[in-house]
Structure 1
């Protein structure tokens, strides 16, 4: 018998409670089918308000304990939103296999914090993740999830915008994001993230999330500069060297790859960020050269300059947002022996610049550097 057949109405009105109890105690297949149809009819009709009849509670619980998987799944779906369902039955279904338990864990108003805390201890990781996703999850349960420290459950909780997570809980999630990269994205968008915690995250998130932090919290790059520079110093001593720049074969391979991307219309400013994050500085050089119409020599000169100004203008001319540039610069320096240097002003703080003006400024600076030499 299929689930679709289970759901087909065959009774004009719900059967009487004693009849259902007798069916629940009858092990025959025909009795189980009739019992299921009767229980579904009762779910559709909804029992009267007030205390649930003990007989009805026994019927539901007996069915859940003895029924086949498809029967329990239908019960879970039908009772997920019911505020009159027997608590014992709801707790049995919540500890069933995850496909049966999921609707109950997600929505049942019968489950209280103590029930959810018990399930966190007794059930599988999949059950724990569903609890972490539960709308308007209570603070006690959120704290218990954070205390357990499982990455998958923490990530589900970080995505849950309605969970009652305390400021201390958010602080602990931010600290966990040092080791659990999946936490970083949802935390940067979490409504309870504070400016102070966002500035802490700025040190270890990637370029795109730094842009998100800057946009949301209006972070002052000059304020974060000492933290970022310290991160550069700390990482430089641990960072493995990037691909050598004097490898002609690799350089030619990277040039061809960029040319293919350009020909296919797939070369975008975002590829610059991606290439740096993948520690492929040669790809960054060729991509920036191609996107901006600069020579490779000009781009390399900007990357070895005493000031990051020329490189900023080159990046701005191809669409790299000025809010992203400081973080991108940090990662480039890690791969490029600390270059470009830190001389001069942080011109990206002056305001927006059109691509045409940025390209003109880049060429003027590079030409001036060449004349000075």
Structure 2
């Protein structure tokens, strides 16, 4: 217990002599787990302890390392980066949460690009995250959904980065970003449409060529009449979407979804050919399909479209049909009259 006794004594008026520091380090290295843990707790805020001892404790098991990683003023950037490289994920998270983390360590975390560690960093309001580092985090949030909420609320999020982040967050975070920055909703929607067009490479939709055979034209006319008849009788319901896809009647699905939601053919096609399933989810929610129904639609549709819509990152945000319809029209405004 001599090591603990040394820690419990008053801080020395002058730095420890080198020889004494080396003795202290040797004793600590040979101490039992519980003693090393207590040592870490008691030296966490000390500015007089041997730096080599603090570095050693930071590389120890996580319950020993955590106090000095979180608070020691003697733990410099080089030691923190060594912790990132040589230790466990728990150690890396502790580094990312360290108050007043320097820009150099922030960059090291971003270079490693571990999703969990970056999410911890995004939640650290005191870390030195500059404009370039924040931009990297926003870019990572395109594929790492866990980054989006802490970034949307981060004090260093600029208006330009907020518009970029807005492109791939859910409706709740879009509302939060819009309220925080008081950005014109039309500007945000324009950013979404521009990104969507680039990401999904949506083709230009043109009328069917005249060479289309008579059988196809007849089938389209039959589908049109069926949808019109069901709608006139008040029997056009969301269940027809799943049925149409299971019967491999892709055209009937497109037409029925458009009629149910009041969407243009181009809007429906753009949703189907998007890089993410979010537009289709909004459209299906708008016409009354629940999550289970949407899952069936998505699975059946991808069988007919070579995997479209894509798997781009997004999360299904619960909302009512009115909110979903509004969100879908905002996202697909570019295709409203095509």
CA distance in 2 between counterparts of 1:158 and 1:39 reads: 37
The one-character-per-residue Cα deviations of 1:226-261 (angstroms, maximum 9, x if unpaired) are 2333455555969xxxx854458xxxxxxxxxxxxx
The one-character-per-residue Cα deviations of 1:81-129 (angstroms, maximum 9, x if unpaired) are 1111111111111111111111111111111112212222222222222
Name the residue aligned to 1:42. 6
CA distance in 1 between counterparts of 2:89 and 2:136 reads: 20
Name the residue aligned to 2:118. 154
Pick closer, same or farther for the CA change 1:245–1:224 going to 2, 3 Å. farther
The one-character-per-residue Cα deviations of 1:12-45 (angstroms, maximum 9, x if unpaired) are xxxxxxxxxxxxxxxxxxxxxxxx1x43333222
Name the residue aligned to 1:223. 187
Tell me whether 1:125 sits opposite 2:89 in the alignment.
Answer: yes
Say which structure, 1 or 2, has more relative contact order (CA 8 Å, 6+ apart).
2
The 3-state SS of whatever aligns with 2:281 is coil
Name the residue aligned to 1:167. 131
Name the residue aligned to 1:109. 73
The one-character-per-residue Cα deviations of 1:178-218 (angstroms, maximum 9, x if unpaired) are 11111111111111111001001111111111111101111
Deviation at 1:224? 2.4
Name the residue aligned to 1:145. 109
8 Å Cα contact 1:221/1:326 also seen in 2: no
Tell me whether 1:279 sits opposite 2:243 in the alignment.
Answer: no
CA distance in 1 between counterparts of 2:188 and 2:141 reads: 19
CA distance in 2 between counterparts of 1:66 and 1:327 reads: 63
Can you give the 5+ residue segments of structure 2 that lack an aligned partner in the other structure?
A: 204-237, 244-277, 291-319
8 Å Cα contact 2:282/2:328 also seen in 1: no
Tell me whether 1:214 sits opposite 2:178 in the alignment.
Answer: yes
Tell me whether 1:74 sits opposite 2:33 in the alignment.
Answer: no
> TM-score of the superposition, structure 2-length normalised?
0.62
8 Å Cα contact 1:95/1:101 also seen in 2: yes
CA distance in 1 between counterparts of 2:54 and 2:186 reads: 55
8 Å Cα contact 2:134/2:157 also seen in 1: yes
Name the residue aligned to 2:29. 65
Name the residue aligned to 1:181. 145
CA distance in 1 between counterparts of 2:337 and 2:100 reads: 48
CA distance in 2 between counterparts of 1:342 and 1:133 reads: 49
CA distance in 2 between counterparts of 1:167 and 1:146 reads: 13
Tell me whether 1:99 sits opposite 2:63 in the alignment.
Answer: yes
8 Å Cα contact 1:210/1:327 also seen in 2: no
Deviation at 1:166? 1.3
CA distance in 1 between counterparts of 2:190 and 2:282 reads: 26
Name the residue aligned to 1:299. none
Deviation at 1:140? 1.0
Pick closer, same or farther for the CA change 1:278–1:73 going to 2, 3 Å. farther
**RMSD of the alignment, in Å?**
3.4
CA distance in 1 between counterparts of 2:43 and 2:240 reads: 64
The 3-state SS of whatever aligns with 1:77 is helix
